[in-house]
Amino acid sequence: MCNREFRERMKVLISGSNGYIGSHVTKMFIESGFEVSTYSRSSGVLP
């Protein structure tokens, strides 16, 4: 199994996804093909 196939099946949970760093990390994982679940105390806009 190549790294790309493995990565596409990976799931991540990001806590604080509406913060400055969390929003950039969330965007990076989504663009890389990960299945992303997020958690945040506020209801701001997600990437």
CB 33 within 8 A of CB 12: no
Q: Return the pLDDT at 8.
A: 52
Q: Return the pLDDT at 22.
A: 92
Domain ranges within the chain, ordered by starting residue = 3-39
Q: Return the pLDDT at 6.
A: 60
Residue-wise pLDDT for 1-47, tens only, equals 456 666 557 999 999 988 899 999 999 999 998 999 998 876 666 55
- Angstrom distance (rounded) from CA 17 to CA 19: 6
- Per-residue tokens: 40: 């945040």
CB 13 within 8 A of CB 37: yes
Q: How many helices (H) and strands (E) does the chain have?
A: 2, 2
